[in-house]
Amino acid sequence: YAPWCPACQQIEATWESFAKESGRLGITVGKVDVTQEPGLSGRFFVTTLPTIYHANDGVFRRYRGSRTLEDLQSYILERKWEAVEPVAGWKSPSSIMMHGMAGLFHFSGWIRQIHNYLTGTLGVHVWVSYAIFILATLLIGLFLGL
């Protein structure tokens, strides 16, 4: 989820109720703010918000059903998750490929922090910051090409 997402705000009360029922259902319910944990959004290949996953014994399934409390509970109680196709091995959050995606998301966050430092703290003009990143990209490409 993301705090600014209208769909996430709409399901928040339902999700909190679902989390309160987690002990009775024998599961653990959590939520992750993708603005605070960008690596997880890369690892889970989050393209829409909110995105709900069911994980059991290292097997991940994306929940695409109705977002009512009753439907979420029946998904668990009636074991409807067993009929859902697991996430493909290469797209699984525990795969090497998704570890790489998480790294790219962390790297982009690091670049944003540098940009904010240059423009906010040092007072460098935005376009000068962009030029620095363009130059760095070219130099890294030339170095790797050699």
The pLDDT tens digits of the residues spanning 60-112 come to 899 999 999 999 999 999 989 889 988 776 666 776 777 777 777 778 888 88
Among candidate residues 1, 4, 5, 20, the one labeled active-site is 5
CA 97, 98, 99: angle at the middle one, nearest 5?
90
CA 11, 75, 12: angle at the middle one, nearest 5?
10
Q: What is the mean pLDDT of the chain?
A: 88
- Asked if 8 is an active-site residue, the reply is yes
Question: Residue 88: what pLDDT?
Answer: 72
Q: Is residue 80 one of the residues assigned to a domain? A: yes
CA atoms of 37 and 76, how far apart (whole Å) = 26
Q: Is residue 106 one of the residues assigned to a domain? A: no
Among candidate residues 8, 34, 46, 98, the one labeled active-site is 8
The DSSP H or E segment spanning 59 is strand 59-63
93, two tokens: 């959050």
> Is the model more confident about 49 or about 96?
49
- Asked if 134 is an active-site residue, the reply is no
Q: How many domains are contained in the chain?
A: 1
The range of the structural domain enclosing residue 11 comes to 6-91
User: What is the per-residue pLDDT across 30-43, written as a single tens digit (0 to 9) for each?
Assistant: 998 988 887 777 77
The DSSP H or E segment spanning 116 is helix 96-116
CA atoms of 85 and 62, how far apart (whole Å) = 8
CA atoms of 121 and 107, how far apart (whole Å) = 20
Q: Is residue 101 one of the residues assigned to a domain? A: no
Q: Is residue 72 one of the residues assigned to a domain? A: yes
